A and B are shown apart, each in its own frame.
Chain A
Amino acid sequence: MTSPLIRFALAAALTFAAAPAVAQTSLNNSQILQGLQGLTDTAPVITAQQMRDQVQAHMVQYPGEALTRPSLALHLDKLPQINVQIQFRLNSAIIDPSSYRTLGSIADAMHNPILHGYKFIVTGNTDVTGSRETNLKLSQARADAVVTALTTTFNVNPSRLEAVGLGEEVLLDSKNPTSAINRRVQIFTVGRVGAK
């Protein structure tokens, strides 16, 4: 199981992968593959709808100002996962060309036979800048854009992917809620193809 520290390092590494050397890129590819494999039978079972419900419940329970409320804890540390920075145009779900390679790397991992039999949830996350509702919608649109690129441009079977916008509710660095590190796409391996 990957430790949160390694996962954090991975997110940081991918942030600076815009103009990568060849060796660096292949390393990132294997890191993505490593991060997404190893789902165990004892891992928690989660659906996209349950995630959305948790976000809604959290927004109702903590209506206060962003800097005063706690980050939503999804308790999914036991699931294989990666955090990646995908660059989008400002306030838009248009993926910046500088992130095409990262998306290709994710597709390569999902096409690897080791991961062939698995399903994933792709979540979008913003920082707390801007309106909470807008961030929720934007994060869903961005997660949708990532899933659409993976399933259409890169041939990943649509039945293996679901997109969930988590808005600004799940912070990677809850002590610095406006930090750019919180703007990320997080991908979880959630089950086997064919299983419910």
Chain B
Amino acid sequence: MTRFRVMLAAVLLAGSVGGASAQTMSYADAAGLLAQSCGKDIQKYCSTVNLGNGALVACMDKNITKVNAQCKADYAAAQASIAKRDAAQDSIVKVCNADAARLCPGMIPQDGNLLSCLLEATKVVSGACNQAITDAGYR
């Protein structure tokens, strides 16, 4: 728990500094940040569009010059984090395939067992796979 909070604090700190190499936020934190910084602007400019299907993003992009500065910055940070996390999740099977075959041979992925195996073997897992696991939020 404490470790998680320290990690989260580090993530938030890195994010606020500029965050080029920041770890991805959880979806909850990214969405929470968006709501916190942009809630009022969303009510003002985008109250008739929904979160899904890219509708909110399209509306926010259209109104980005009108929203408050904090919202503008945090909207970009939240979007970038979500995109990075999505990409890491989508890539993980491919990126970690060789590591899984080498370190967890014959394992049929179920209920998180393959990831547990890769996490246990963190020290000998390839850098790319470790990074993908981190960015995907699986650590």
A-to-B contact residues, CB < 8 Å: 20, 22-23, 25-26, 29, 89, 93-95, 97-105, 107-108, 111-114, 116-117, 145, 148-155
Q: At the interface, is chain B mostly helix, strand, loop or mixed?
A: helix
Q: CB within 8 A of B86: which of A95, A102, A155?
A: A155
- Residue of B28, B31, B39, B48 with highest tally of chain A CB at under 10 A: B28
CB distance from A98 to the nearest CB of B (A): 6
Known: A113-B138, A153-B82. A97 touches B48 (CB 8 A): no
- Is the Cβ of A100 less than 8 Å from the Cβ of B31? yes
Q: Please, how many residues of chain B have a CB less than 8 angstroms from a CB on the other chain?
A: 41
- Against A, the Cβ 8 Å flags (1 = close, 0 = not) of B93-107 are 000000000000000
Q: How far is the CA of A150 from the CA of B52 in the complex (A)?
A: 7
Are A98 and B39 in contact, with the CB atoms below 8 A? yes
Given A23-B1, A108-B137, A113-B138, A95 contacting B28 (CB threshold 8 A):
no
B67 within 8 Å of A (CB atoms): no
Query: Across the two chains, which residue of chain A brings its CB closest to B86?
Result: A155
CB closest residue in chain B, given A37: B111
Chain A's interface: helix, strand, loop or mixed, by majority? helix
Q: Which residue of A lies closest to B4 (CB)?
A: A26
Of B1, B26, B110, the contact of A117 (CB 8 Å cutoff)? B110
List the interface of chain B (C-beta within 8 A of A).
1, 4-5, 8, 26-32, 34-35, 38-39, 42-43, 47-54, 56, 82, 85-86, 89-90, 109-112, 114-116, 136-138
Which of A23, A95, A101, A108 is packed against the most chain B CB atoms within 10 Å? A101
Q: Which residue of A lies closest to B39 (CB)?
A: A97
Which of B28, B52, B109, B111 is A148 in contact with, Cβ under 8 Å? Answer: B52
- Does the CB pair A149–B50 fall under 8 Å? yes
In the complex, what's the smallest C-beta–C-beta distance from B35 to chain A, in angstroms? 4
**A104: which B residues are within 8 A, CB to CB?**
26-32
Pairs A–B under 8 Å by Cβ, sample size 7:
A25-B29, A101-B31, A113-B111, A114-B112, A117-B109, A152-B54, A153-B51
A101 to B37, CA, bound (A): 12
- Chain B residues contacting A152 (CB-CB under 8 Å) are 52-54
How far, in whole Å, are A149 and B109 apart by their CA atoms in the complex? 27
A112 to B112, CA, bound (A): 8
CB of A17, distance to nearest CB on chain B (Å): 10
Contact A154 B27 (CB under 8 A): yes
Q: How far is the CA of A103 from the CA of B136 in the complex (A)?
A: 17
Let me know if B137 and A148 touch, CB within 8 A.
Answer: no
